[in-house]
Amino acid sequence: MGSFADFYRRSIEDRDGFWAEQAALIDWETPPRQICDASQPPFTRWYAGGRTNLCHNAVDRHLATRASQPALICVSTETGTERTWTFAELHAEVQRMAAAMLELGVRQGDRVLIYMPMIAEAAFAMLACARIGAIHSVVFGGFASGSLASRIEDAAPVLIVSADAGSRSGKVVPYRPLLDEAIRLSSHKPGAVLLVDRQLDAMNLIAGRDHLWRTLREKHLNSVVPCEWLDATHPSYTLYTSGTTGKPKGVQRDTGGYAVALAASMKYIFEGKPGETYFSTSDIGWVVGHSYIVYGPLIAGMATLMYEGLPVRPDAGIWWQLVEKYKVTRMFSAPTAVRVLKKHDAAWLKKYDLSSLKALYLAGEPLDEPTAQWISQGLGVPVIDNYWQTETGWPILTLANGVERAASKFGSPGVPMYGYNVKLLDENTGEELQGAGRKGVVAIEGPLPPGCMQTVWRDDARFVNTYWKSIPGRLVYNTFDWGIRDGDGYFFILGRTDDVINVAGHRLGTREIEESIASHPNVAEVAVVGVADTLKGQVAMAFAVVKDASALTDEPARLKLEGEIMKAVDAQLGAVARPARVRFVTVLPKTRSGKLLRRAIQAVCEGRDPGDLTTIEDPAALQQIRDLLAA
């Protein structure tokens, strides 16, 4: 295919020619009239005049050649169930779901809110929405009522699809009471609620509003619901970004551009081949679940594995057992999950036949070098980091090994992907920073490539002001992440621009200090936050989880380990970066998607209210920090 450098250059310099070629990777009912309409920046319309359908490209177009091939594999270690649907069976289930939605009053352009555990019906519901042109808005299952209510209010769904309960670590998480409370709190009341009864928790149905999926599925067993051909610019879904405060921010995605972007990424980045199996360990409530559990692998003609359960239950080998059983070729996970596995015996990585696995992709947060080394050596396959956002829908920085093989550099997600004109800018002046080793804000020159957000749902002004107007004198998309670039053009992400610590005039990224602390052999995980200090403005405070707790038997042992970690930071970054304290905890506060709640930690350290903690995985984690600080 030639060099990636030429491939990339063409995507920036001959944008229309390049993306016209990529459009051939999907089916169109009407070919696009215009490839890129960037006449009203920062709004971009991709493939205007073209008509296509996401569900057709994910399911129907494969029926002619691979109807009997596995399409969706659902495994739950929570309920001990495992089932595979072929493309033909998936096609039938999606039509049943689409028929049920139509019966409940859903029409093209209407919103359907999906509040579901990781079960097959969640994928059926997403694909059914795409099939009939409804706009789905998936909210992470088990999300607290207040957060769910604000999303119901913003999306104004005609229908909510949910279930009696999810399950986590063997404990039933009832969804129905959370949903009822959310609907009570919301000023918008959905016309109907469609419920999957998993028989995990008792449900009393509300007459006139609630409908059982089992009953409607039976009624529509033989229903035929054709795909609605939609304008390429028609919204496919909205997805609320996690960690937002106040009014939720609904990232709005289109149809045609997204389908093309995913098809291209499956070819050039993930190298997925039809007939193979893709396993993303994410959740459908997050963007990775949309792009690389549901749509991307299916568009590529692959089987996609949906997993409900923990990476260490029933044991730390469960993922690798599934890789062996289903001959997974491409796997996508998060550094947090790997760090969880790292606390267990590395022998689990060798117990199963992983010869089918070609690569492991990681994203969601910066990947530290020790974690990357550990999993890479354990699996013996390339570990490929990638960096992107809910807003972009597919990777900004990674390696496109499907174009030209390139070496991974531990600590770096890679280089800018085709279509992304990535710059490093001075946050105060907007000046572009050239050369290696200069630290700036990672920004993207418009127009953004296909698949990126169109706008914020029902709030164009917020889209412009939040993302495009924060760097002086430049209309550029701000990722709100610090980065540096090395001499080979590889980027290194140093943390959020709002996670910068200013210690006596020295600006330090929390990420840099975390990397340094994580290099100590007994550190499994670490979070660093900046805490207000009367003398220095801010000081760094570190909270670490150790691999071997026997090093913490008493106060002298704790102080010894703390001293060793301080020395490591001194040696690597200098005394200015040394944290004021390193405190040892058994668990760090995280969201259910595995993101560290640094702002909540910082608030507790400064004696402030940590704010909305509805997304926290383990509330006891923050209490542990409070107790440490009070001691």
Given a cut of 60, whether residue 23 has pLDDT beyond it is: yes
pLDDT tens figures, 494-503 = 877 767 787 7
Clarify whether residues 476 and 507 are in a common domain: no
Clarify whether residues 460 and 507 are in a common domain: no
Rounded average pLDDT over 144-159: 92
pLDDT number for residue 505: 66
Rounded average pLDDT over 86-112: 98
DSSP 368: P
Structural domain harbouring 473 = 4-309+386-480
**Lowest-confidence region among 78-82, 145-149, 188-192:** 145-149
pLDDT number for residue 593: 73
Rounded average pLDDT over 103-121: 98
Give Rg (Cα) of the chain: 24
Strands (E), 232-322: 237-240, 250-253, 277-280, 303-308
pLDDT tens figures, 555-565 = 999 999 999 99
Clarify whether residues 517 and 403 are in a common domain: no
pLDDT tens figures, 376-418 = 999 999 999 999 999 999 999 999 999 999 999 988 999 999 9
Q: How confident is the model at residue 1 (pLDDT cuts 50, 70, 90)?
A: low
Clarify whether residues 460 and 571 are in a common domain: no
Number of domains within the chain:
2
**Domain membership flag for residue 487:** no
Rounded average pLDDT over 590-606: 86
CATH number for the domain spanning 62: value is 3.40.50.12780
Domain closes at, from 480, 510, 541: 480
Nearest to 414 by CA among 2, 71, 8, 76: 8
Clarify whether residues 452 and 513 are in a common domain: no
**Domain membership flag for residue 294:** yes
- C-alpha distances (whole Å) from 225 to each of 52, 56, 132, 185, 228 are 16, 12, 8, 35, 9
Computed over every residue of the chain, the mean pLDDT equals 93
pLDDT tens figures, 212-267 = 999 999 999 999 999 999 999 999 999 998 533 457 789 999 999 999 999 999 99
Place of tokens 């909305």: 612
Pairing outcome for strands 491-496 and 523-533: unpaired
Domain closes at, from 449, 480, 511: 480
Nearest to 219 by CA among 100, 92, 88, 106: 100
Handedness of CA 476, 479, 480, 484 (dihedral sign): negative
SS3 48: strand
Environment class of 563 (CB within 10 Å of its CB; exposed 0-12, middle 13-18, buried 19+): exposed
Q: How confident is the model at residue 119 (pLDDT cuts 50, 70, 90)?
A: very high
**Lowest-confidence region among 457-461, 486-490, 622-626:** 622-626
Rounded average pLDDT over 202-210: 96
Clarify whether residues 403 and 520 are in a common domain: no
Clarify whether residues 466 and 512 are in a common domain: no
pLDDT number for residue 501: 80
**Domain membership flag for residue 509:** yes
Clarify whether residues 97 and 234 are in a common domain: yes
**Lowest-confidence region among 209-223, 480-494, 495-509:** 495-509
User: How many C-alpha atoms does 383 have within 13 Å on its Cβ side?
Assistant: 24
Clarify whether residues 465 and 587 are in a common domain: no
Report whether 418 contacts 448 (CB < 8 A): no
Clarify whether residues 518 and 469 are in a common domain: no
CA 537 to chain centre: 34
DSSP letters, 529-542, are EEEEETTTEEEEEE
Global pTM reads 0.87
**Domain membership flag for residue 27:** yes
CATH number for the domain spanning 623: value is 3.30.300.30
DSSP letters, 468-485, are ISSSTT--EEEEEEEEEE
**Domain membership flag for residue 429:** yes
Clarify whether residues 527 and 476 are in a common domain: no
Report whether 53 contacts 255 (CB < 8 A): yes
**Domain membership flag for residue 322:** no
Clarify whether residues 28 and 125 are in a common domain: yes
**Domain membership flag for residue 354:** no
Domain closes at, from 417, 451, 480: 480
Q: Which residue has the higher pLDDT, 163 or 505?
A: 163
Peptide bond into 157 cis (omega under 30): no
Percent of the chain surpassing pLDDT 90: 81
The distance in angstroms from the start CA to the end CA of the chain is 62
Element (H, E) at 265: helix 256-268
Rounded CA separation 119/307 (Å): 8
Residues of the chain by 3-state class (helix, strand, coil), percent to 5: 35, 25, 40
Q: In the sheet where 210-212 sits, what is the strand order?
A: 210-212, 192-196, 159-163, 111-116, 135-140, 237-240, 250-253, 455-456
Rounded CA separation 293/282 (Å): 8
